C-alpha cells in the first residue's frame, strides 16, 4: 500500500534545506527541521521568515497563511525529534563523511518504513545508503535553487532502492506541486550533467576575456531566453558548490567539459563564493 506522508523531517537548514522546508510546509505537511546548533537554527529560521515575508509582500500569502506555514515548521537541534517522521530529507553540506554519519543516526532513530532521502547534488546516493541497515529505502531527492520556485525534483534510485519507495517518492513530489524525473545514481544526474558543462564554458570564456560578464549573461538571457545568464547563475548556486559538482563529474566521466575552469578555484580561494558571501562574478548588497 502506498505510504502516507504527514510528518517530514529536513536535516540542514541552509539555502536548500530551508527552501525545501518551505515547500513542504506550503503543502500542509508537518515539518521537523533539524540544525546542528542554535545559531544555525536561527539562521535557517531567518531564511524561512525572509522568504515567506517576500511571498506576503507579493500577495502570494496572507498574514494568517504565513503564520500557519511557519507554525507547521518545528525547529530543533536534536535528530531524535525525527522519530515519528515518515520521510526525512537531508540537505547538509556535501561531505560523504558527514552524510554517512547523519544517515547512520537516522537509521537508528526512525521507524523501519521511513524513507531516507538525500538532496545531494554531487555525491553517490548508493555510498550514502550503505551506511544504513535499509539501503532499499534510501533515495535521492534533488531539488533546485530556489526550491520554492523551481518545479523539478530528480528522484535518484540506486541499484538497491525498492521500486515501491521510488513510486511513493514520485507520488509525493507530485503532491508538492513539483515535476519529478527518475534517474540512476550517476554524478550530475540529468540537469547538472547538462547544465554545468555550459556554466564551466562560460567561466572559461570570461577568463579568456572573450567577453564581459554582462555581455556573456545578456547573450544567454536575451538570445536564448534563459532566466539568468551563466555567471549570475553561478553566483546564485555558489562557486564552491559549482566547483564540487564539476570536480565530481570530471572525476567520474573524465569529460573535459567538466574540468573546472582554473578561475573558479582562484575565486573560491579568495572567498568570492557568490551571493552568499556578497561577491562572486558580481557584487551584492
Q: Which residues are catalytic?
A: 121, 142, 154, 192
Distance of CA 120 to the CA centre of its chain: 7
Distance of CA 1 to the CA centre of its chain: 29
Task: Walk across the sheet containing 115-118 and list its strands.
Answer: 73-76, 30-34, 7-11, 87-90, 115-118, 138-143, 152-157, 179-184
Rank residues 54 and 113 by Cβ distance to ligand CAA and give the closer one. 54
Which residue in the set 145, 252, 253, 277 belongs to the binding site for ligand CAA (CB under 6 A)? Answer: 145
Region binding ligand CAA by CB under 6 A among candidate stretches 30-38, 53-61, 78-86, 156-164 = 53-61
Rank residues 77 and 179 by Cβ distance to ligand CAA and give the closer one. 179
Which residue in the set 30, 51, 110, 161 belongs to the binding site for ligand CAA (CB under 6 A)? Answer: 51
Region binding ligand CAA by CB under 6 A among candidate stretches 6-14, 81-89, 141-149, 271-279 = 141-149
Helix or strand run (H / E) with residue 238: none
Q: How many residues does the chain have?
A: 285
Among residues 57, 59, 77, 71, the alpha carbon closest in space to that of 26 is found at: 71
> What residues from 180 to 239 belong to the interface with ligand CAA (CB under 6 A)?
192, 227-228, 233, 237
Residue 132 in the binding site for ligand CAA (CB under 6 A):
no
Residue 149 in the binding site for ligand CAA (CB under 6 A):
yes
Among residues 63, 57, 70, 59, the alpha carbon closest in space to that of 26 is found at: 70
Rank residues 161 and 241 by Cβ distance to ligand CAA and give the closer one. 241
Helix or strand run (H / E) with residue 194: helix 191-207
* Binding stretches for ligand CAA (CB under 6 A): 51, 54, 58, 60, 121, 144-146, 148-150, 192, 227-228, 233, 237, 241
Amino acid at each position: 500500500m502506498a505510504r502516507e506522508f504527514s510528518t517530514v523531517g529536513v536535516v540542514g537548514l541552509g539555502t536548500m534545506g530551508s527552501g525545501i522546508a518551505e515547500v513542504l510546509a506550503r503543502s500542509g505537511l508537518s515539518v521537523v527541521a533539524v540544525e546542528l546548533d542554535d545559531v544555525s537554527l536561527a539562521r535557517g529560521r531567518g531564511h524561512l521568515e525572509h522568504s515567506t515575508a517576500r511571498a506576503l509582500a507579493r500577495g502570494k500569502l496572507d498574514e494568517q497563511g504565513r503564520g500557519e506555514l511557519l507554525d507547521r515548521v518545528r525547529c530543533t537541534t536534536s535528530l531524535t525529534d525525527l522519530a515519528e517522521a515518515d520521510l526525512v530529507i537531508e540537505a547538509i553540506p556535501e561531505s560523504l563523511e558527514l552524510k554517512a554519519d547523519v544517515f547512520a543516526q537516522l537509521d537508528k532513530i526512525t521507524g523501519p518504513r521511513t524513507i531516507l532521502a538525500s538532496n545531494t547534488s554531487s555525491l553517490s546516493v548508493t555510498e550514502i545508503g550503505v551506511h544504513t541497515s535499509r539501503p532499499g529505502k534510501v533515495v535521492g531527492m534533488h531539488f533546485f535553487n530556489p526550491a520554492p520556485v523551481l518545479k523539478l525534483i530528480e528522484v535518484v534510485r540506486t541499484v538497491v532502492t525498492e521500486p515501491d519507495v521510488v513510486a511513493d517518492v514520485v507520488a509525493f513530489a507530485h503532491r508538492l506541486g513539483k515535476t519529478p524525473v527518475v534517474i540512476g545514481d550517476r554524478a550530475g544526474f540529468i540537469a547538472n550533467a547538462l547544465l554545468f558543462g555550459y556554466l564551466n564554458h562560460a567561466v572559461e570564456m570570461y577568463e579568456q576575456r572573450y567577453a564581459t560578464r554582462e555581455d556573456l549573461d545578456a547573450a544567454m538571457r536575451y538570445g536564448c531566453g534563459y532566466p539568468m545568464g551563466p555567471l549570475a547563475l553561478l553566483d546564485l548556486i555558489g562557486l564552491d558548490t559549482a566547483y564540487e559538482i564539476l570536480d565530481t563529474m570530471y572525476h567520474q566521466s573524465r569529460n573535459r567539459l567538466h574540468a573546472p575552469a582554473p578561475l573558479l578555484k582562484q575565486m573560491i580561494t579568495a572567498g568570492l563564493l557568490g551571493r552568499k558571501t556578497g561577491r562572486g562574478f558580481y557584487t551584492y548588497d
